[in-house]
Structure 1
Amino acid sequence: MSRRLRFVALGDSLTEGVGDPVGDGWRGWAALLAGGLAPDGGSVEFHNLAVSGAQTCDVLERQLPVALALRPDIASVMVGVNDTLRCTFDLHAVAARLDRVYAAFAEQGVVLLTACLPDPGAMLGLPGLLAHPLARRQQAVNSVVHALSERHGAVHLHAAEEAWVADRSMWSADRLHPGERGHRVLAVRFHALLAAEGHARGAPPSLEPETSAPTRAASLWWLATAGTGWVARRCTDLLPQLLALSAHELRHRARGTSARLDLRASSAVVSALASLTTADRPDPA
């Protein structure tokens, strides 16, 4: 008897399933996708290692060793947004960690799933001077993810398109995580990519939600209650630097040199990718 297909999911709250509640916990896109990977009559062994708040260092140091020990057939790695929300953000470090994680799965012959993700500043509706620095960070991370996904042969999903961000029904009340509809869309899109390459042989997940989308009132209630705590926790770490970045943005706008900031961000991506070499990758095992 052949062993069951094994799918391991790594990442942060997005993959943990936040925004798609089932019972006393979260379900999410990865769990929805798992059900459609094996043909009818087959079964999938699914392990969700994702943890809310995880950064690339957490995936590399804590989640990756556990995932490799499970010897998965398919693994997903979706992380990086939390890195952009920290004052310690370092694109070179993010690129190096992701490169090691992707390479570790590639060396085991694992089918790797990755995705580019929306900008959190845009999702929260932050003012331009605050949103633009975060947008540049997320765009830089997405560029790195895209390049490394191609380098390591990953199945890559572009999930940062405007249509995805603009459709309010796709998102939960917190404005940061997909709601049930959004999680289902992610699962269906990943399934289509995997099926095209012969890696998903079961029926795709349904797009039909089991619950209604959050109302505007629910979103406002979240911002007035739980949202204030989220902002307070992030402000302690990020706000001082974000204010400095915003002041820097304002000075460049006043001088008409905002294009320089975009150029610097692009140069940082090129530099981060150029600094990666095979010799720099220690054996993760």
Structure 2
Amino acid sequence: MPGTDRPYLRYVALGDSQTEGLGDGDEIVGLRGWADRLAEQLVRHSPDLHYANLAVRGRLAGQVHAEQLAPALDLRPDLATVVAGVNDLLRPRFDADEVAGHLEAMFAALTAQGARVATLTFPDMTRIIPIARPLGSRITALNSRVRHAARRHGVVVAETGHHPVVTDPRLWSADRLHAGPLGHQRIAAAVAHALALPGSDDSWTHALPLDGSSPAGWHAVPGELRWAAAFLGPWLGRRLRGRSSGDGRTAKRPDLLPVRTMAGTGQ
């Protein structure tokens, strides 16, 4: 199995909108995202790296398992990242054991095939979206189960949920559900650090400078009302209609391609 002294040749990313890259780029210039950024870091030390990203926005953990695991195994990765569960957290019915079961099944299958697998824990969303306070216990429960499942299968965990900087508004996009460019950069650095990649360190955990650039009024009532109208309302509308932001979408990078082909595509 490749390690820090042996280059990775095939990296496959599984997941939902965060891994797809929402919040980092757009539909016109293309999405980048933390997995793309991690691949760019990997290729500095693994020039022959090929990378596929199977993630699709809106997918629940069970859908990631059902739709992405078999194609991932067919690609025979020596490195895979598996990140899912946030969409489940936001649903009225949430079962931490069920979600963790899907994650563990993917951990087991990928590691059994010889891949090095990495995942991450989730930040406290209640510090980003105050009205999401009822979700706090769900996040704690899911993170605990992710750690236990990862330990059973030798999966590397980037503990992004532990550090206060991850809830700094400057790391998040306006919808507060997806990381912004700086947030995706920090996630990529966190996973690289967990994998002990050459040149990685814990600087991703450091607080951002107090430069006055933090968005003002996020947690004031007018700011909350504007956010609810712009983002929460449409999200609830899709749920009531039984629709998802990922309906009709497929993976942006379903095949293993050289990372250099990402240059100039907006990714």
Q: TM-score, normalised by structure 1?
A: 0.69
- Aligned residue type for 1:83: D
> Following TM superposition, by how much is the alpha carbon of 1:38 offset from its aligned partner in structure 2, in angstroms?
3.3
- Aligned residue type for 1:89: F
- Aligned residue type for 1:16: E
* Post-superposition CA distance 1:126-162 (Å, at most 9, x none): 1xxx613x11111111111011111111111111135
Matches within 5 A, 1:62-211: 62-126=67-131, 131-132=133-134, 134-194=135-195, 196=196, 200-201=197-198
Instruction: Tell me which of 17, 28, 44 is aligned to 2:21.
Output: 17
CA contact (8 A) 2:120 2:191 kept: no
CA contact (8 A) 2:117 2:156 kept: yes
CA contact (8 A) 2:127 2:167 kept: no
Higher fraction of helix: 1
Residues 218, 173 of structure 1: alpha-carbon distance in 2 compared, 3 angstrom cutoff: farther
The aligned length equals 221
Q: Which runs of 5+ in 2 are unaligned?
A: 1-6, 205-212, 243-267
RMSD of the TM alignment (CA)? 2.9
Give me the whole-angstrom Cα distance separating, in 2, the residues matched to 1:137 and 1:4: 34
Give me the whole-angstrom Cα distance separating, in 2, the residues matched to 1:236 and 1:78: 26
Q: TM-score, normalised by structure 2?
A: 0.73
Who wins on radius of gyration, i.e. which is larger?
Answer: 1
CA contact (8 A) 1:39 1:202 kept: no
Partner of 1:276: none
Give me the whole-angstrom Cα distance separating, in 2, the residues matched to 1:188 and 1:121: 23
> Identity of paired residues, percent?
39
Residues 42, 215 of structure 1: alpha-carbon distance in 2 compared, 3 angstrom cutoff: same
> Following TM superposition, by how much is the alpha carbon of 1:233 offset from its aligned partner in structure 2, in angstroms?
3.3
Q: Secondary structure at the match of 1:50?
A: coil
* Post-superposition CA distance 1:170-201 (Å, at most 9, x none): 1111111111111101111211222x2xxx35
1:36 aligns with 2:46: no
* Post-superposition CA distance 1:69-106 (Å, at most 9, x none): 00011100111111121233222322221221110011
> Following TM superposition, by how much is the alpha carbon of 1:229 offset from its aligned partner in structure 2, in angstroms?
0.6
Partner of 1:58: 63
Q: Which runs of 5+ in 1 are unaligned?
A: 208-212, 238-285
> Following TM superposition, by how much is the alpha carbon of 1:216 offset from its aligned partner in structure 2, in angstroms?
4.5
